[in-house]
Amino acid sequence: MPSSDYYEQIEETFEAVEVALESLPDDVDIRGAEGVINATFSNGVVFVFSRQPPAEQLWLATPGGGFHYAWHEDTRTWRDTKSGESFHDFLVKELATHTGLALAWDNHEDIHG
């Protein structure tokens, strides 16, 4: 059973992602249901964010592939389970690559690294 910390961190992260995507200068269609956020951009590109409670992970699917993130309490960040790259940094790069949009948070700690 996933820890309460996982649920707290994933909820905060999903809320911050939705707010950040809604602030983009693009007509992003954001749909959330059952632990999944689908973001469709005006150029047709789709990003899918999903909660994976059994693994206590955050998954991201983009045109670049599928990526799994685990919460690291010591750094208070979501980190890719293979590369170790932070979710925040990777999301910024993926959005720029596939949509040409620059994603920036006033305080990127809001999405935990």
Q: Sketch out the chain's domains with CATH numbers.
A: 4-107 (3.30.920.10)
The single-letter DSSP state of residue 77 is E
* Cα–Cα dist 56/89, whole Å: 20
The structure's pTM equals 0.89
CA angle 40, 41, 45 (to 5 degrees): 75
Tokens (6 digits) for 109: 């700690």
pLDDT digits (tens, 9 = 90+) for 7-37: 999 999 999 999 999 999 898 999 999 899 9
**pLDDT tens digits, one per residue of 71-86:** 999 999 999 999 999 9
Give the Cα separation of 46 and 51 in Å (integer).
17
Helices (H), 1-86: 4-22
Task: Give me the pLDDT at residue 106, please.
Answer: 55
User: What is the 8-class DSSP label of residue 43?
Assistant: T
